């Protein structure tokens, strides 16, 4: 696909992120599965192949410009939906140990199918809410990195993610131009939950120029036992 090849070439030139032929083939397989399944179960509003490449795949990979992810890191993708960004990060960095968390069972069924058909190893999934997982031994404060994209406002998001991260670990929130205002509203919540704003990466999506912001928060202190609150509360009454 010529348009895709041009898009990938431009992306590589701009970012230094080069996709190998076998990675491109796997991503093509993923996109086909996503388009097919999306006709039965709504996973994404973006259905054109080139736009999936641009707005899902390449957007997900921007994280590698925002921070260094150590080899073999344990990564949790909170509210992964169709596996975005977690499954896409795994295809680009097979060394990562990726854990996908999703509360809608129909989406878990899709993830199960994709992981099997793509033959991915070192990636698992769980049908759960983040608030439940964040209180469970074996998951609480056990991940090196938490990622979340298009899930919730920042003051809700930090309550989903920070309880899952180990001390010294990080969370990265994928945001658009409204991210700065969200972050301002979440400053106190971040502090309460043991986090500190580390940095904000700003850039643009290839091919369309949409503004992107990746917010990195480092976990400096243990999350108090009170958090996360019971399911639904972080969204209904965000910490302010």
Residue 41 included in any domain: no
Residue 160 included in any domain: yes
pLDDT beyond 60 at 2: no
CATH assignment of the domain containing 157 = 3.40.50.150
Instruction: Give residue 197's domain range.
Output: 56-236
Residue 36 included in any domain: no
Note the pLDDT tens digit of each residue in 31-81. 999 999 998 888 878 878 888 998 999 999 999 999 999 999 999 999 999
Q: Which residues contact 19 (CB under 8 A, 6 or more apart)?
A: 8, 12, 27, 92
Per-residue pLDDT averaged across 226-231, rounded?
Answer: 94
pLDDT beyond 80 at 230: yes
Q: Which residues contact 70 (CB under 8 A, 6 or more apart)?
A: 144
pLDDT beyond 70 at 1: no
Spatial contact of 85 and 63, defined as CB atoms under 8 Å apart: yes
Closest to 65 (Cα-Cα) out of 144, 221, 172: 172
Residue 2 included in any domain: no
pLDDT of res. 194 = 97
The DSSP annotation for 123-182 comes to EEEEE--HHHHTTSTTTTT-EEEEEEESSS-HHHHHHHHGGGEEEEEEEEEEE-TTHHHH
For the chain, the average pLDDT equals 93
Residue 21 included in any domain: no
Q: Which residues contact 71 (CB under 8 A, 6 or more apart)?
A: 95
Give how many domains the chain has, as a whole number: 1
Note the pLDDT tens digit of each residue in 106-153. 999 999 999 999 999 999 999 999 999 999 999 999 999 999 997 788
Residue 225 included in any domain: yes
pLDDT beyond 80 at 212: yes
Residue 16 included in any domain: no
Residue 25 included in any domain: no
């Amino acid at each position: 696909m010529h348009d895709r090849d041009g898009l990938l070439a431009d992306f590589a030139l701009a970012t230094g992120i080069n996709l190998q032929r076998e990675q491109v083939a796997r991503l093509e397989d993923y996109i086909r599965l996503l388009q097919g399944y999306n006709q039965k179960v709504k996973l994404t509003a973006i259905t054109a192949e080139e736009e999936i490449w641009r707005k899902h795949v390449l957007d997900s990979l921007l994280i590698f410009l925002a921070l260094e992810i150590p080899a073999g890191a344990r990564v949790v993708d909170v509210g992964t939906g169709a596996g975005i960004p977690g499954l896409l990060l795994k295809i680009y960095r097979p060394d990562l140990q990726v854990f996908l968390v999703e509360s809608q069972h129909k989406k878990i069924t899709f993830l199960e199918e994709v992981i099997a058909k793509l033959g991915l190893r070192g990636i698992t999934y769980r049908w759960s809410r983040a608030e439940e997982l964040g209180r469970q031994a074996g998951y609480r404060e056990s991940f090196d990195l938490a990622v979340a994209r298009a899930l919730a406002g920042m003051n809700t998001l930090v309550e989903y993610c920070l309880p899952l991260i180990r001390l010294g670990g990080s969370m990265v929130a994928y945001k658009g131009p409204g991210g700065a205002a969200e972050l301002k509203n979440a400053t106190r919540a971040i502090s309460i939950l043991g986090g500190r704003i580390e940095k904000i990466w700003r850039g643009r999506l290839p091919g369309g120029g949409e503004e992107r912001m990746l917010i990195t928060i480092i976990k400096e202190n243990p999350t108090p036992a009170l958090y996360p609150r019971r399911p639904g509360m972080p969204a209904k009454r965000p910490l302010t």
